[in-house]
Structure formats: structure tokens, C-alpha cells
Amino acid sequence: MNQLEQLRQYTTVVADTGDFQSIRSYTPQDSTTNPSLIVKAVQKDTYHSLLEKAVRDNREKSTEEIIDRLLVAFGCEILNIVPGRVSTETDARLSFDTAGSISKGRDLIALYEAAGVSRERVLIKIASTWEGIEAAKVLEKEGIRCNMTLLFSLSQAIACADAGVQLISPFVGRIYDWYKKSTGNEYTGADDPGVQSVKRIYNYYRKFDYKTEVMGASFRNTSQITELAGCDLLTISPELLQKLSESDAPVARKLSPDTASADPVEKITVDEKTFRFMLNEDAMGTEKLSEGIRLFCADTLKLEQMIAELRQK
């Protein structure tokens, strides 16, 4: 078996892309999108027609509503390919707006349901700020499942699990990027700080019997992926899926509930004050969360500009 086939023995493989053709090639269970991936996709001739259609069919609606319909259009296309779930992201400008995030989550689910897609097949992606986690807590009680994104620290992970969210997406590659830049060191294998962060979260969840799923995300190389074999899910770019499929190097299970129980970590109670202090003490987590929100906001603005240009035609 190649590495991708071996990985599937231990972990649910998810495609991290807005490119339908890539998704078909690797037959993942689920698929995730974000503003950056959607912007990248609609600039290709293959997918630009989805943007044109969203504008053409909704000229009387606001730009915000057109973007919602575009995101759902991509999600519906993806769900025609994958047997599981698609993750659709809320506007990053709502990252510190609990009520706004709740409203946006409801709006997106309503659009999916109007298109004949059950809410069980959709994960609403929300930034793992305190306000975002509070929004997810409300949405989960309504049967709207959430994927907490831009997650870099244990404090965020614990707050998400306490809120009863469906799934979290710790960003392996961006953690690696921060430590590489700040120390000047290269990290490989089990020494990678991004890998260590996900292992710590996974072990904490399994040791204390949290039901929230852990989906490692934002990978820079296949070593980061294989070091997390056994994680509940891993969302992987088409480029790295291809590399995994081209290698037959052995992949061993690295994470499991059995080994998690031996982790010496103690349970931590995280209220708002503790959350904010723990995150503040984590320079990497604080910086990467802020940077991630800014980058997703910038890509949403790019999408708005594309829509504005199409409206003028």
C-alpha cells in the first residue's frame, strides 16, 4: 500500500481544497474550504462560472448574501463528490462577534437546507476566539455542527471541547512556520512543534473522554501528516495527497486512545478569564490567531472586489 492507503487505516482523510477535480482524484471522506481556497478556485476558468452565476442570479442581493450563496454552491458541488461532510467558513470579520457568528451559521445552514442538503452533512467553520466558541456552543445546541478553525493552543482546544463542538482544526503548518521563523531551526518528525501541539490536544481529549473530533490541518510536508497517523481526521491539500499516494514508505500509527490515557497531563478548567490569560501567555497562539483572521479577512475582501467587478458588467 502507498502512504495514503496506509494512513486511511488509522485516520479519516479529508481534502483541503475548493478544486472538485482534485477531490475526485483522491476520494476523501470529507472536504474543507476556507476563504483563501475559494478565492484561489474562482480565479480558475473551471470554477469562475460559479462566481458568475452567483452574481447573475442574485443581483438584487447584497454582496454578503452573494458570497454566502457562492460558498454554499461550492459546498453543494463538493457534497456531490464526497460521501461525508463539507466545512464552510463564516466571515472572519465576525471573529469577535458572537451574535453575528450565530446568525451567519444559521443563514448558511438555511441555504444548504433550501438546496436539499441536510445539516448533518455540513460543518460551519468559526474562528477559535472566545466569541467564536460561545457562538458555536449556541449553534451546536440547535443541531448546527461546527468546525473550530484557526486553532493554535491548548486553551482554545479545551474551551472548544467544553463548549461541545463537533470538531476542531489545529493548524500544524502555521505553528511550525512560527517556530521556524522565531528560532531559525528546522523541525522534522516528532520534534515538529505543530505535530507536538496536535498530539497534546488529541491526548488531552481522549484521556478526559471528550467527544470533539480532532482534525489536524495546514500541513507543510508529508512528515507532519504521517507523524499524526491515528488522529481522528487530517485535512490535506491535493499536492500533499499526491505525494502520499506516490510513496510506499511505511506509516505507523502514532496516536491512539490507549496511549493517550498514559499522558500525565492534568485536567484544566477554562473560563473566559483563564482562556484569555492562557492565550495571552502563548505568543505563538496569539500572533497566529490574529494573523489568520487578518489573512482570511483580506481574502474575503478580494472576493468582494471580484463580485463588484462582475456587477458592473
Query: If you average pLDDT over residues 209-221, what whole number do you get?
Result: 98
pTM: 0.97
Find, among 89, 78, 81, the residue nearest to 39 by Cα: 89
Phi-psi region of 218 (alpha: psi -120 to 50; beta: other; left: phi over 0): left
Q: Would you place residue 253 in the very low, low, confident or very high pLDDT band (cuts 50, 70, 90)?
A: very high
pLDDT in tens, 47-65: 999 999 999 999 999 999 9
Beta-carbon neighbour count of residue 44 at 10 Å? 11
Cβ burial, residue 169 (10 Å; 0-12/13-18/19+): buried
Q: Which residues contact 68 (CB under 8 A, 6 or more apart)?
A: 104, 107, 108, 111
- 21 pLDDT higher than 90: no
DSSP string, 298-311: HHHHHHHHHHHHHH
Nearest of 124, 115, 164, 170 to residue 145 by alpha carbon = 124
218-243 pLDDT per residue, tens = 999 999 999 999 999 999 999 999 99
Residue 103 has pLDDT above 90, yes or no: yes
Rounded to an integer, the average pLDDT of 201-230 is 98
**Structural domains of the chain, ranges and CATH numbers in brackets:** 3-311 (3.20.20.70)
In one-letter notation, the amino acid at residue 169 is S
C-alpha distance from residue 184 to each of 12, 58, 122, 179, 188 (Å): 33, 49, 40, 8, 13
SS3 per-residue string spanning 170-228: EEHHHHHHHHHHHHCCCCCHHHCHHHHHHHHHHHHHHHCCCCCEEEEECCCCHHHHHCC
Say if residue 120's pLDDT is above 90: yes
Q: Is 61 a catalytic residue?
A: no
Question: What is the overall mean pLDDT for the chain?
Answer: 97
Output the CA–CA distances (angstroms, integers) from residue 146 to 158, 161, 195, 197, 227, in the order listed: 15, 11, 23, 21, 26
Per-residue confidence (pLDDT) for residue 56, from 0 to 100: 96
Tell me what percent of the residues of the chain surpass a pLDDT of 70. Answer: 100
Confidence of residue 313 (pLDDT cuts 50, 70, 90): confident
What's the pLDDT at 18?
A: 93
pLDDT score for 122 = 98
How many percent of the chain have pLDDT more than 90? Answer: 98
pLDDT at res. 2: 98
Burial class (CB in 10 A: 0-12, 13-18, 19+), 76: middle
* pLDDT digits 0-9 by tens, 259-308: 999 999 999 999 999 999 999 999 999 999 999 999 999 999 999 999 99
Q: Which of 40, 44, 61, 125 is catalytic?
A: 125
Contact present, 90 and 99 (Cβ < 8 Å): no
Summarize the confidence of residues 131-159 as an average pLDDT: 98
| DSSP codes, 74-108 | HHHHHHTT-SS-EEEEPPGGGTT-HHHHHHHHHHH
